[in-house]
């Protein structure tokens, strides 16, 4: 460490402890989780190290407690200045015919900058989780749906039907937060809530056991047979004859009984995650869920609960939509927003050599590396990212909700939470980096 670095390091630490002294921080949300539970309590020491005090949540604990690294920008794996890294990134952009802004794990402020750069550079945008999210977006664009949000579930649900997932593999605190909550405005005894898992195998259904020990009902089947089970359930709910005794190993009687329970419920909720429904054309199965809800709403109340939002995907498609009109898998290469959910898919664009520079934006989870490809790659992301193959340019950035202010959408898209800067950093924000590249491109 030379003198200049040492001085700046000391200065930084002074700023750190002056502006962000040791403290206990409350009402913090883990920004990369779709449920955005904002009941986290953290301890901060004078050096800006954070540790999770409560509640027990392994994902949040890792995220906030990850040791700070002295990450510096790098060109071809060699440390560089920020200016040189931005210059190199700009040069790659300038010569590209079809840049792809991928990953997009960021927040609202970051996405605004993404949209600006995409517009100026004629780039395509796609999110790291779009394979899952697109299943839901396609349903919304094709048939629509009736859905609900977390606080409604927490206060109203009397029958929860979960399709093809245990939820907790993706959202560990789901049952604790919105099913087994002690108090609810419209459910006298939440422990009496009924839980049914339909489809999938080897699910972790323990979180579905009520605090009083009431077991959930589990109707397992192979995941790739979920489509026919849902079609059968929809037919039964709609009063159509079903000429078979058994669908994918689930008896007709069991499905008829489930249909009756759904009709008898006052506020049933059918939950799924796009990621778990991992079979071709899962959007058609989601449409069957939507169809079941639609049928139930003729006489009682029911709503769907599509769960998503990890790594900021709900934020990414919301911001992209308000600025451009379309969600991700959207491109400005024709000079205007152009949406094509099949064409502008990251893996397809890379596999077919249609893009000539990839920018991988990844603010939250250092393990989400860019997809392997021969395309020149710029990574703008979490300072703890480690690469097997060094990207052409790496620029570490401040993490929203940890080292930068921001705003993040929750899974149900109705709630956006503020993200707060919790400690000092010398790293730039995503917006700083992208705006610099955009200005440099325009200046040229």
Distance CA 49, CA 43 (A): 8
Under rule CB under 8 A, residue 238 binds another protein = no
Residues 301 to 340 in contact with another protein, rule: CB under 8 A: 301, 303, 317-318, 321-327, 332, 335-339
Query: Rounded to an integer, what distance in angstroms lies between the CA atom of residue 399 and that of residue 311?
Result: 12
Find residue 198's DSSP bridge partners: 163, 219
The nearest distance, CB 266 to another protein, in angstroms, is 7
- Find the shortest distance in angstroms from Cβ 237 to another protein: 17
From residue 191 to residue 230, what is the string marking binding to another protein with x (rule CB under 8 A)?
----------------------------------------
Cβ nearer to another protein, comparing 218 with 415: 415
Question: Site residues for another protein, window 69-128 (CB under 8 A)?
Answer: 108-109, 112, 116, 119
Distance of closest approach, residue 442 Cβ to another protein, in angstroms = 11
In sequence order, what DSSP letters do the residues of 307-356 get, joined into one string? Answer: E--GGGHHHHHHHHHHHHSS-SSEE-TTSS-EE-TTTT-HHHHHHTT--S
360 vs 409, which CB is nearer to another protein?
409
Output the smallest distance, CB 368 to another protein, in A: 25
Q: Counting contacts by CB under 8 A, is residue 41 touching another protein?
A: no
User: Within positions 128 to 167, which residues make up the interface with another protein, using CB under 8 A?
Assistant: 137, 140-152, 154-156
Q: How far apart are the first and last CA of the chain?
A: 35
Q: How far is residue 346's CA from residue 352's CA, in Å, rounded to a whole number? A: 10
Which residues, at least 6 apart from 192, have a Cβ–Cβ distance to it below 8 Å? 158, 210, 214
Calpha distance 389→160 (Å, rounded): 45
* Nearer CB in complex with another protein: 219/404: 404
In angstroms, give the least distance from the CB of 6 to another protein.
32
417 near another protein (CB under 8 A): yes
- Find where tokens 């009431």 sit: 214
CA-based nearest residue to 278, from 161, 170, 165: 165
Calculate the alpha carbon distances from 233 to 154, 196, 378 in Å.
25, 13, 47
Q: Kindly identify the residues of this chain, within the stretch 247-276, that bind another protein according to CB under 8 A.
A: 266-267
- Which stretches of the chain bind another protein, using CB under 8 A? 26-27, 29, 35-39, 108-109, 112, 116, 119, 137, 140-152, 154-156, 177-178, 183-186, 266-267, 297, 300-301, 303, 317-318, 321-327, 332, 335-339, 405, 407, 409, 413-418, 431
């Amino acid at each position: 460490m030379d003198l200049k670095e040492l001085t700046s390091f000391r200065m930084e630490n002074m700023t750190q402890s002056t502006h962000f002294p040791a403290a206990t921080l409350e009402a913090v949300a883990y920004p990369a989780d779709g449920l955005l539970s904002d009941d986290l309590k953290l301890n901060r020491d004078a050096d800006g190290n954070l540790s999770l005090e409560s509640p027990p949540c392994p994902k949040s604990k890792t995220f906030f407690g990850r040791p700070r690294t002295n990450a510096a920008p790098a060109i071809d794996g060699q440390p560089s200045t920020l200016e040189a890294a931005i210059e190199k990134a700009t040069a790659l952009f300038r010569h590209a015919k079809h840049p792809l802004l991928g990953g997009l794990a960021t927040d609202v402020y970051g996405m605004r900058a993404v949209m600006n750069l995409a517009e100026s550079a004629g780039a395509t945008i796609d999110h790291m989780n779009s394979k899952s999210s697109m299943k839901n977006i396609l349903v919304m664009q094709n048939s629509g749906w009736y859905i609900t949000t977390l606080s409604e579930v927490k206060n109203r649900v009397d029958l929860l039907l979960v399709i093809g997932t245990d939820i907790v593999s993706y959202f560990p605190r789901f049952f604790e937060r919105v099913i087994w909550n002690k108090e609810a405005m419209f459910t006298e005894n939440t422990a009496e809530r009924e839980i049914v898992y339909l489809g999938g195998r080897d699910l972790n259904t323990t979180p579905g056991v009520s605090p009083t020990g009431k077991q959930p009902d589990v109707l397992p089947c192979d995941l790739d047979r979920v489509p026919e089970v849902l079609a059968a359930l929809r037919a039964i709910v709609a009063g159509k004859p079903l000429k078979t005794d058994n669908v994918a190993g689930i008896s007709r009687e069991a499905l008829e009984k489930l249909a009756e329970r759904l009709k008898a419920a006052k506020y049933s909720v059918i939950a799924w995650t796009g990621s778990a429904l991992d079979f071709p054309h899962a959007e058609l199965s989601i449409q069957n869920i939507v169809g079941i809800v639609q049928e139930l709403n003729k006489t009682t109340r029911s709503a769907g609960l599509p769960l998503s939002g990890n790594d900021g995907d709900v934020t990414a498609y919301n911001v992209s939509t308000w600025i451009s009109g379309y969600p991700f898998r959207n491109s400005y290469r024709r000079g205007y927003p152009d949406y094509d959910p099949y064409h502008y898919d990251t893996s397809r664009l890379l596999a077919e050599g249609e893009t000539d520079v990839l920018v991988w934006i990844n603010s939250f989870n250092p393990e989400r590396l860019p997809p392997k490809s021969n395309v020149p790659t710029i990574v703008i992301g979490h300072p703890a990212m480690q690469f097997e193959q060094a990207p052409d340019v790496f620029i570490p950035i401040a993490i929203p909700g940890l080292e930068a202010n921001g705003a993040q959408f929750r899974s149900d898209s109705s709630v956006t939470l503020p993200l707060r800067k919790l400690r000092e950093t010398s790293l730039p924000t995503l917006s700083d980096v992208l705006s610099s590249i955009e200005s440099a491109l325009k200046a040229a």
